[in-house]
């Protein structure tokens, strides 16, 4: 175990996988000599050279597409988008190409490509630099979508993603990079498709992931002071969704709140709630709820952004309302 | 290096296989046995054969929905292609991809693409893989002249240029993008000049002359294998049939098409073969050999089973 | 009233709005001299000329972006994407730009832009030409999303869209163009944000729109033969969602099925179900269900495509299961 | 037509207002009063003033997150801009847009954009509107040299060329894209050649010389007003500060920056004004006038109220 930041954990995962497998290489803007705007690729160019740590032009569609081509040819590219918002200029390559090529080829090719990017709000970066797209990618068959919340899972899931042999959208969060945590040294893999119970509680199940997981855990402590014991589940994998862990939990808590930063409308919260009522229609004693960003673009001014994104206090309030 | 004259009869047969493949599809389509899209490459057989014969089986290829010719010339099984058109389980994509997505990695075909210019970065990426692995493989990217107005086309050319990738961009300029003449939508009709604007060696070649096509691609390929980086070739050709089945073709005159038929690649190559002393009988034999290949493939495809509906859920992930 | 096809009704809407407002003009591939691959713009270039009916290069990001710019400058552009799948190459302009510019400008500009495209499967066009994106656009604040099912609404909603003064994604369906129906002549507007009850029934509410609405109505007839009277609601507007009409209906039917062609995962069905349990937790006697495309790319072969897309028989089965 | 010498003092004051605006933002940022992004345009004031003064208030402008200078030069209220930086309700976007999205249609500013090249088609579209309305308005599109590798840049150039739109593409080549020198990512460093490859009149101009900048843009603008179509101008300039706050600037030497300071636009214009006989006092007076404008704006911004959280839900739709 070593105490690492989320960014350092990602860096360790990249370094270990590049050491272990020469097919792994990186492409992205400012990831080489500069080491990445968020320092995730820091020092990698010194170890692996500019051929495997490639600074790209501002051509996301082009270099994501080249990642696909290299993957088709047997490599294991990891491409970085500076902000997840820029997935939109590469959307055709991600959704029409990476996600579909294997299927359209009847399984004769595969696309072992990892697309990394940080997303989310909270820093006042504005509507074009603060979006959360995991609920969009969850709509796209052929994509695996991961969203670690802790340094340990950041490392464990990124290593799993690189070995997955399939297109993976790897969702990081700009506010998590400097968060610290114990990270297992060396070979450590977090399984894809497996959620984790981060806090045990009997009264309500709070499902979250990425940045809002931390708010959920904070809220759980506050709720405990009012005698409400929340069970907090870290989804970690967005798609494929681990319903087993969720259903197990609500069997005992009988209450469910899903919290995420992507907009509520057609978001993962709605999906989980729909599945819960399909699969365990009578498990809940209070209506399931979800919290997501309000249905407006993400504003810059603190008071505005704060009111648009789900806050710890909103989680507490939503849970308490289940007990009225 | 030119295409040696003793391979010309084989090239002729290959071009006829492509032509007859499309003709067979058309009649199957008219019989209602094929659904979905069909974008025939009739008239563009020389770009396919000249281009794909200039590389090895282990070299990479991406093409478009109009790429039946390139796929077959690169080595895709005619049976598997025909079965795919009929949506059969024995198709190259088990009926999942259809006419626009022929794929066969065993012959380097990374996939035909139904998004204009969508396959270009895949070819460049495969070329990058070859460069990183220090193999001498190259990649061919076929696309139509309409693709030169799509953003990812430019992004890919720039990336290929700065990284000196072993990729050859082959623009089949057949003068039309769907029902619109390309000069109406393209500031620089000579698309090879766009390649040139990235410092990529770029030239134009007679795409209806299989020997000229072979020689131009072969030169670009050997430059790429020697580390000389990408090339851009514009192949001047013509689409003899409509953009797709049911195209009313109001955008061109019958005369224009008639003139084009006089210089279409198969007619051209037959003349050339006769000059080289091949007899009418020789040509007829080659044609019947092609016909046999297509008839066999069609029989195979028609006899093949349709996919099991349950298989719709497989082949998403490796 | 005149009997028109869906395509003719759209053509009438465009013609009438172009006649009434010189700010309205069209951009798209093959929409001019050829009259559109699906004949929607047929003849318009002869009436309005090539300046207002503009054939574009294959540059969706470019001409959607130019539609945004023209809208910012006071025009009322209507741009056509040949297939909704191509929205992915213009995704930045639609999601990062059209949807957000007004908000990011504090309301000082507006983007009266209509983006039309046909979508959906059923014709064996393959995974890159058969997608349904309305559930994706519903995730994006700043977009109005419409999806008419009938010729009358095709005309009435397109006219409303052009006058909406905001970015509208107008969803057509390739299998609807040749369907016929009575269309009111001249000035006829279908209100945005208003669903319509297409069939009255007491036993179950089926919510759908676009192509699958026809399957829902078919299914309702079959169910009636087994004594199940389905109420069928045509949503018409995807966002903003008309929950009032849905909730009113389930108050009497107590059963809900949502049917659409976009993938079920994080789809509109999940959203509607989540809202129903939030807003009327105890209204249903059977668990709410949704049918969407299975979570795989859309295959070509008939047997495969048929099994992936929701069929009339699937609707009947899903409803009958609610009565076991 | 050149910028008449008697406007040079005003230009000097305007450039100082821009410079001091950025300096004020930097210190407010360091005091923690500004959150989010800040991409200073220090060193690029001449491209902004020379470019934007060559058009009318009713002409259109799109720019980038680094476009504070252009926005102010086009006429955006300094108070509204400063208040926006501080996230105040009185900001030009009521605190919703922030540093990267200055917008004011009353002065033709259709919006700064945070997506590289994202604003180019908006300028071209506004130019199309002007063409359709038969007005003589033109549109300016400012962007950085890194944008020339983004697909929509090319798509827009092609569309502007084939439709002869009254739009002027102005590339501010400040040599770096974030922390990467642009020659490392761009096949043709002379980006104006890319404009030329679409048949658009394209040239390079000294972007640190406000008079040269004005003259070049003015010539392109009058050609555009006369129906001569688009132009492409590459303005050679230099970013004196980091890409954003906290940029370690490991990608360049202190010497390089020091050399650049000797030829930066404000120093250049002050020399020129002295040649024209303006005294040190004149220049000092202009500078203090600029300082007053900024001080007033900062006071206004600091005194302005923060937005009501409930307002987060407004301004989505018209
Ligand atoms: C991004 C995108 N836009 C539009 C289309 C629709 N489309 C299919 S083929 C075609 C014309 C392409 O013309 P060209 O590149 O010249 O190729 P050709 O069909 O002539 O071989 C168009 C516009 C598409 N498939 N992808
Ligand atoms: C599509 C897209 N990709 C990446 C970014 C991140 N980014 C912001 S500024 C920038 C550098 C742009 O360089 P240049 O165009 O030269 O403009 P400059 O910052 O030098 O003014 C990058 C890559 C972005 N905003 N948009
Ligand atoms: Mg063509
Ligand atoms: Mg720059």
pLDDT tens, residue order, chain D (318 aa): 899 999 999 999 999 999 999 999 999 999 999 999 899 999 999 999 999 999 999 999 999 999 999 999 999 999 999 999 999 999 999 999 999 999 999 999 999 999 999 999 999 999 999 999 999 999 999 999 999 999 999 999 999 999 999 999 999 999 999 999 999 999 988 999 998 899 999 999 999 999 999 999 999 999 999 999 999 999 999 999 999 998 999 999 999 999 999 999 999 999 999 999 999 999 999 999 999 999 999 999 999 999 999 999 999 999
pLDDT at residue A92 greater than cutoff 90: yes
- CB < 8 Å from A in window 137-166 of D: 146-147, 149-152
List Cβ neighbours of B48 (8 Å cut-off, separation of 6 or more).
Answer: B15, B18, B41, B67, B69, B70, B72, B73, B142
Average pLDDT, chain C: 98
Any atom of ligand 2 within 6 Å of the Cβ of A85: no
C-alpha to C-alpha distances, C103 to C96, C112, D67, D121, nearest whole angstrom: 11, 14, 19, 19
Using one digit for the tens of pLDDT, what is the confidence trace for B26-75?
999 999 999 998 999 999 999 999 999 999 999 999 999 999 999 999 99
User: What is the reported pLDDT for A275?
Assistant: 98
Give me the total of CB pairs closer than 8 Å, taking one residue from chain A and one from chain B: 154
> Which of B71, B46, B55, B61 lies closest to B236, judged by CA?
B46
Query: What is the number of residues in chain D?
Result: 318
Q: Which of C120, C290, C280 is nearest to C207 (CA)?
A: C290
pLDDT at B189: 83
Interchain CB contact of D184 with A (< 8 Å): yes
CB of A94 within 8 A of CB of A169?
Answer: yes
> Is the preceding omega at residue B237 within 30 degrees of 0, hence cis?
no
pLDDT score, position B196: 86
Examine the pLDDT at C81 and tell me if it is beyond 90: yes
B204 pLDDT exceeds 90? Answer: yes
Distance CA D82, CA D91 (A): 7
- Ligand 1 atom closest to the Cα of residue B173 is 16
Residue D146 beta carbon below 6 angstroms from any ligand 2 atom: yes
- Do C152 and C9 contact (CB within 8 A), yes or no? yes
Cβ pair D48, D41 in contact under 8 A: yes
Give residue-wise pLDDT tens across range B93-103: 999 999 999 99
Most D-contacting residue of A34, A54, A58 (CB-CB within 10 A), to test interface: A58
Tell me which residue of C7, C40, C4, C39 sits closest to C181, measured CA to CA.
C4
Alpha carbon distance C33, A288 (integer Å): 54
Mean pLDDT in residue range B275-281: 97
Considering only CB atoms, which chain C residues are within 8 Å of A143? none
Q: What does the pLDDT look like over A40-68, one tens digit per residue?
A: 999 999 999 999 999 999 999 999 999 99
Q: How far is CA C69 from CA A73, C103, D99, D160, in A?
A: 41, 16, 21, 13
Q: Looking at residue A99, what DSSP letter applies?
A: T
Quick one: pLDDT band at residue B294, thresholds 50, 70, 90?
very high
B147 lines ligand 1 (CB under 6 A): yes
CB < 8 Å to D151, chain A: 59, 61-62, 89
Q: How many CA atoms lie within 13 A of D37 on its CB side?
A: 26
Cβ of B174 below 6 Å from ligand 1: yes
Q: Residue D201: phi, psi to the nearest 5? A: -55, 120
Task: Determine, for residues B150 and C86 on separate chains, whether the beta-carbon distance falls below 8 Å.
Answer: no
Taking the mean position of all CA atoms in its chain, how far away is CA A66? Answer: 23
Q: Is the peptide bond before D35 cis (omega within 30 degrees of 0)?
A: no
Alpha-carbon distance of C132 to C85, in angstroms, equals 8
| pLDDT at residue D1, as a whole number | 87
Least CB-CB distance to D309: which of A61, A126, A303? Answer: A303
Query: Two tokens at B263?
Result: 């210089």
Q: Which two tokens stand for residue B188?
A: 């620089």
Rounded average pLDDT over A87-106: 98
State residue D236's pLDDT score. Answer: 98
pLDDT per residue over C133-177, tens digit each? 999 999 999 999 999 999 999 999 999 999 999 999 999 999 999
Tokens of C86: 């191509």
For residues B204-242, b (16+ Cβ closer than 10 Å) or e, as one string? Answer: bbbbbbbbbbbbbbbbbbebbbeeebbbbbbbbbbbbbb
pLDDT, position A186: 84
- Confirm or reject contact between D9 and chain C (CB < 8 A): no
What separation in angstroms does the CA of C253 have from each of A274, B103, C288? 19, 50, 12
Whether B140 contacts B91, CB under 8 Å: no
If we measure between CA atoms, which residue out of C106, C107, C77 comes closest to residue C93?
C77
Give pLDDT, residue C234: 98
Task: Report whether C324 contacts C150 (CB < 8 A).
Answer: no
Q: How far apart, in whole angstroms, are the C-alpha atoms of residue C59 and residue A61? A: 14
Mean of pLDDT over chain A: 98
* pLDDT tens-digit readout, B158-188: 999 999 999 999 999 999 999 999 999 999 8
Tell me which residue of D73, D13, D2, D5 sits closest to D282, measured CA to CA: D13
User: What pLDDT was estimated at residue A90?
Assistant: 98
Buried b vs exposed e over D276-304: b needs ≥16 C-beta within 10 Å? eebeeeebeebbeebeebbeebbebbeeb
Atom of ligand 1 nearest to the CA of B143: 15
Closest of B99, B94, B86 to residue B298, by C-alpha: B86
Q: How far is CA B283 from CA A177, B268, D307, in A?
A: 70, 13, 82
**What is the three-class DSSP state of C82?**
strand
Identify the pLDDT of residue B1: 87
* Distance of alpha carbon A120 from alpha carbon A309, whole angstroms: 9
Handedness of CA B215, B216, B222, B225 (dihedral sign): negative
Q: Output the six-digit token pair for D223.
A: 């050609």
Q: In chain B, what residues touch A73 (CB-CB under 8 Å)?
A: 60, 110, 125-126, 129-130
Separation of CA A100 and ligand 2 centre (Å): 29
Smallest Cα distance from B125 to chain A, Å: 4
**Known catalytic residue: C129?**
yes
Closest-CA residue, ligand 2 atom 21, reads D144
CA distance A51 to chain B (A): 7
Nearest by CB to D159, which of C66, C77, C105?
Answer: C66
Q: Which of B100, B177, B312 sits opposite C126 (nearest CB)?
A: B100
Residues 256-285 of A with CB under 8 A from C: 262-263, 265-271, 273-274, 277-278, 281
Per-residue tokens: C303: 């047997």
D106 burial type by CB count under 10 A (0-12 exposed, 13-18 middle, 19+ buried): exposed
| Residue D144 CB–ligand 2 contact under 6 Å | yes
Measured CA to CA, the distance from residue D192 to residue B252 in angstroms comes to 36
What pLDDT does A255 receive? 98
D97 touches chain A (CB under 8 A): yes
Contacts of B101 in chain A (CB under 8 A): 104-105
The answer to whether D98 faces chain A, any CB pair under 8 Å, is yes
pLDDT of amino acid A128: 98
Partner C contacted by A104 (CB < 8 A) = yes
pLDDT of residue B188: 85
Q: Which residue has the tokens 């709509």?
A: A139
| Active-site residue flag, C263 | no
User: A72 and B317 in contact by Cβ < 8 A?
Assistant: no
ipTM for the predicted complex: 0.98
Token pair 């409803």: residue: C319
- DSSP summary character for residue C169: E
- The reported pLDDT for the residue numbered C200 is 98
3 state SS of C234: strand
Note whether A52 contacts B132, CB cutoff 8 Å. yes
Cβ contact D103–C144 (<8 Å): no
> SS in 3 state form for chain B?
CCCCHHHHHHHHHHHHHHHHHHHHHHHHHHCCCCCCCCCCCCCCHHHHHHHHCCCCCCCEEEEECCCHHHHHHHCCCHHHHHHHHCCCCCCCCCCCCHHHCCCEHHHCEEEEECCCCCCHHHHHHHHHHHHHCCCCCCEEEEEEHHHHHCHHHHHHHHHHHHCCCCEEEEEEECCEECCEEHHHCCCCCCCHHHHHCCCCCEEEEECCCHHHHHHHHHHHHHHHHCCCCCEEEEEECCCCCCCCCCCCCCCCCHHHHHHHHHCCHHHHHHHHHHHCCCCHHHHHHHHHHHHHHHHHHHHHHHHCCCCCHHHHHCCCCC
Q: Grade residue C186 by pLDDT with cuts at 50, 70 and 90.
A: confident
Nearest to D298 by CA among D10, D64, D41, D27: D27
In this predicted model, what pLDDT tens digit does every residue of A119-161 receive, in sequence order? 999 999 999 999 999 999 999 999 999 999 999 999 999 999 9
- Distance CA(A49)–CA(A33), nearest Å, equals 10
Residues C87 and C167: their CA atoms lie apart, in Å, by 14
**Measured from the CB, is residue B68 less than 6 Å from ligand 1?**
no
Rounded to an integer, the average pLDDT of A69-95 is 98
């Amino acid at each position: 175990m070593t105490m690492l930041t989320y960014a350092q954990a990602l860096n360790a995962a990249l370094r270990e996988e590049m050491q272990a497998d020469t097919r792994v290489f990186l492409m992205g803007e400012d990831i080489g000599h500069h080491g990445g705007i968020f320092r995730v690729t820091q020092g990698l160019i010194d170890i692996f050279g500019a051929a495997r740590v490639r600074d790209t032009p501002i051509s996301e569609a082009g270099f994501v597409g080249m990642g696909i081509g290299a993957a088709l040819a047997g490599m294991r590219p990891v491409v970085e988008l500076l902000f997840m918002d820029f997935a939109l200029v590469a959307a055709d390559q991600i959704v029409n190409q990476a996600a579909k090529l294997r299927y359209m080829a009847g399984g004769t090719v595969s696309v072992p490509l990892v697309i990394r990017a940080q997303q989310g709000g909270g820093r006042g970066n504005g509507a074009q630099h603060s979006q959360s797209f995991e609920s969009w990618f969850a709509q796209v068959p052929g994509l695996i979508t991961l969203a670690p919340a802790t340094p340990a899972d950041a490392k464990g899931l990124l290593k799993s993603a690189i070995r997955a042999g399939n297109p993976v959208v790897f969702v990081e969060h700009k506010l998590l990079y400097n968060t610290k945590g114990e990270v297992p040294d060396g070979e450590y893999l977090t399984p894809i498709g497996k959620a984790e119970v981060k806090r045990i509680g009997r009264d309500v199940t709070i499902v979250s992931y990425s940045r809002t997981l931390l708010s959920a855990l904070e809220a759980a402590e506050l709720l405990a002071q009012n005698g409400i014991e929340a069970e907090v589940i870290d989804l970690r994998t967005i798609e494929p969704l681990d319903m087993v862990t969720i259903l197990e939990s609500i069997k005992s808590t009988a209450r469910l709140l899903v919290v995420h930063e992507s907009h509520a409308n057609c978001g993962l919260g709605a999906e989980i709630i729909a599945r819960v009522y399909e699969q365990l229609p009578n498990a809940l004693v209070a209506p399931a709820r979800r919290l997501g960003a309000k249905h407006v673009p993400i504003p810059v001014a603190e008071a505005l952004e704060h009111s648009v994104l789900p806050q710890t206090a909103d989680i507490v309030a939503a849970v308490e309302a289940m007990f009225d | 290096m030119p295409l040696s004259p003793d391979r010309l009869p084989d090239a002729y047969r290959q071009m006829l296989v492509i032509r007859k493949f499309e003709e067979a599809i058309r009649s199957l389509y008219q019989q209602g046995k094929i659904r979905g899209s069909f974008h025939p490459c009739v008239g563009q057989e020389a770009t396919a054969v000249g281009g794909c014969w200039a590389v090895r089986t282990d070299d990479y290829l991406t093409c478009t929905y109009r790429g039946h010719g390139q796929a077959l010339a690169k080595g895709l099984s005619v049976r598997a292609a025909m079965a795919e058109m009929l949506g059969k389980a024995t198709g190259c994509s088990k009926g999942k991809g259809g006419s626009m997505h022929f794929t066969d990695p065993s012959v380097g075909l990374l996939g035909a693409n139904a998004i204009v210019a969508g396959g270009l970065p895949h070819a460049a990426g495969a070329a990058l893989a070859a460069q990183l692995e220090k193999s001498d493989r190259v990649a061919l990217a076929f696309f139509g002249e309409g693709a030169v107005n799509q953003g990812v086309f430019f992004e890919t050319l720039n990336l290929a240029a700065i990284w000196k990738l072993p990729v050859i961009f082959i623009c089949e300029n057949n003068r039309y993008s769907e029902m619109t003449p390309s000069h109406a939508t393209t500031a620089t009709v000579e698309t090879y000049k766009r390649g040139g604007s990235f410092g990529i060696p770029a030239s134009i070649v007679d795409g209806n002359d299989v020997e000229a096509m072979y020689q131009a691609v072969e030169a670009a390929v050997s430059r790429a294998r020697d580390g000389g980086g990408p090339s851009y070739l514009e192949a001047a050709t013509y689409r003899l049939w409509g953009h797709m089945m049911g195209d009313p073709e109001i955008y061109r005159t019958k005369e224009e098409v008639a003139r084009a038929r006089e210089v279409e690649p198969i007619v051209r190559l037959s003349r050339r073969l006769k000059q080289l002393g091949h007899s009418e009988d020789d040509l007829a034999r080659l044609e019947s050999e092609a016909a046999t290949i297509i008839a066999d493939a069609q029989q195979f495809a028609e006899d093949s089973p349709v996919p099991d509906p349950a298989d719709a859920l497989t082949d998403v992930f490796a």
